[in-house]
Amino acid sequence: MARHSESGRPIEPVYGPEALQDWDASGKLGEPGSYPFTRGVYPSMYTGRPWTMRQYAGFGTAVESNARYKQLIENGTMGLSVAFDLPTQMGHDSDAAISHGEVGKVGVAIDSIDDMRVLFDGIPLDEVSTSMTINAPAALLLLLYQLVGEEQGVDPAELTGTIQNDVLKEYIARGTYIFPPKPSLRLIADIFRYCKAEIPKWNTISISGYHMAEAGATPAQEIAFTLADGIQYVRTAVAAGMEVDDFAPRLSFFFVSRTTILEEVAKFRAARRIWARVMREEFGAQNPKSLMLRFHTQTAGVQLTAQQPEVNLARVTVQGLAAVLGGTQSLHTNSYDEAIALPTDKSARLALRTQQVLAYETDVTATVDPFAGSYVIEAMTDDVEAAALDLMRQVEDRGGAVDAIEQGFQKGEIERSAYRIAQEQESGERVVVGVNRFQSPDGEPYEPMRVDPAIEAQQAERLARLRAERDQGAVDAALSELRKAAEGTENVLYPMRDALRARATVGEVCNALREIWGAYVPTDVF
């Protein structure tokens, strides 16, 4: 029976030289660390040092998350990756009515600088790289991180890490938006300018296809819509008066890694090649770092199963291997129990050990780009590239990423793909071990980790104490300055920083901006 890739292209049973269509002569391959970066963004890749091993973690209160971070560091994690709860992601305080039932559930609750101090207590911020999965309120969390670093005596110029800060994909696939697209893009441009001046080593955005993939996007859709968003961000910054080489070297990307190893490797190679050409040909970037698509990878949470969860250890190992063979710069491996609940200490440690086995017990780090010249990989890279470029052209035909989002194009394409996948699983055409084949008659008992519901009341008490102790006049004055900046063209991060330093809460700062910019209400176009 004929096989097809996740992107719908046929997979041939045998590939030979004729499949490559003069790819080397056309300049598609190149050398590692050289344009168009098909073979990787660095000449030596992992032969000198492995990728950065991150573990995405955060739950409950800042105290609990701080303890988990310290455990991960002790076990060899090279970078922290912070998960925030839904109220924080949506710019609401823990004691807001809309936050009820969600405080601390899918990440850590951060309401003010007080919580941020606790979150990183005893963790020297000049010695760790921190990634924060936060989008609409990304500026606030970055500023809180900077303020805590300054309290530790760390020069902001020495802080390293990444904020996701990719709000366009929220309108497409995830939904944790606050403001409409245009002011959201203005805020992102302000972040670019602020970081260039104040936190120059920080990666200002991680343009994410991961969440699109989790919503059902194919590999080709994942990179097409992600790169289209990236183009929109670059255009926004250039239109705001920035030189492309002043900010493009700090752009980064975030992709999923599925169990389909061959197409995932091809996807990463195609994405690097497309981005390099876009940056050179459309934006005239001169700095080689502006042309490099550097990316973080997370293994595919959507492919994990609650049935026979131990099988997820095998899935995550395969997914992690695909990311490494594809040339990722950093990697998070999911815990095997994440389809059931928050990871336990043991499962989080096992996920990290999976990366360490790949890095130190296999030979995939011994040579740069192990799959280069593979008939199947090079042919599939061409296929994914062609499919992605076609989708990117369709986005452009609709006026670019924002206009296409408002027309529902990307969302509609992803939903159709998700429906197809669901049908294939229902029919058994797509095998999911332990779900539609190879079921185990008796499930083994598993005790999931649970977040204490008392956390919500504890956070409310902390907020009440904060509001009673702080200088309310200073907070009001700072929020007033923030509103003025939002109404005009001044960079909003400077008055925002003053407000947070005065102990304004995340919700208060976001509400001040909502008053000026409004809140996004999606239109159902279907």
- Residue-averaged pLDDT of the chain: 93
Which amino acid, residue 437? R
| Weakest mean pLDDT among 19-28, 103-112, 444-453 | 19-28
* Kind plus residue range of the DSSP H or E element containing 3: strand 3-4
pLDDT band per the 50, 70, 90 thresholds, residue 19: low
pLDDT at residue 524 tops 90: no
Cα dihedral 227→229→234→236 (10° resolution): 170
What distance in Å separates the CA atoms of residue 138 and residue 141, rounded to the nearest whole number?
5
Length of the chain: 526
Give the side-chain half-sphere CA count within 13 A for 90: 19
pLDDT (average), residues 152-170: 96
pLDDT at residue 470 tops 50: yes
pLDDT of amino acid 526: 42
Beta-bridge partner residues of 84: 108
CA 42, distance to chain mean position in Å, is 21
pLDDT band per the 50, 70, 90 thresholds, residue 166: very high
- Mark out the alpha helices in 470-525 (DSSP H runs): 472-487, 493-501, 506-517
pLDDT at residue 449 tops 70: no
Query: Mind listing the domains of the chain with CATH numbers?
Result: 3-41+51-427 (3.20.20.240)
pLDDT (average), residues 318-339: 96
Cβ proximity of 20 and 381 under 8 Å? no
Q: Could you tell me where the beta strands, DSSP code E, fall in 384-452?
A: none
Which amino acid, residue 410? Q
Place of tokens 């990756």: 81
- 3-class state of residue 202 by DSSP: strand
Burial string for 315-331 (b: 16+ CB within 10 Å, else e) reads: bbbbbbbbbbbbbbbbb
Beta-bridge partner residues of 332: 54, 298
Cα dihedral 186→190→193→198 (10° resolution): -170
pLDDT of amino acid 57: 75
pLDDT at residue 20 tops 80: no
Residue 61: CB atoms within 10 A of its CB come to: 24
Instruction: Assign residue 388 a region (left: φ > 0; alpha: ψ between -120 and 50; beta: otherwise).
Output: alpha
Cβ proximity of 102 and 109 under 8 Å? no
What distance in Å separates the CA atoms of residue 210 and residue 302, rounded to the nearest whole number?
10
| Weakest mean pLDDT among 17-26, 189-198, 220-229, 374-383 | 17-26
pLDDT band per the 50, 70, 90 thresholds, residue 344: confident
pLDDT at residue 176 tops 80: yes
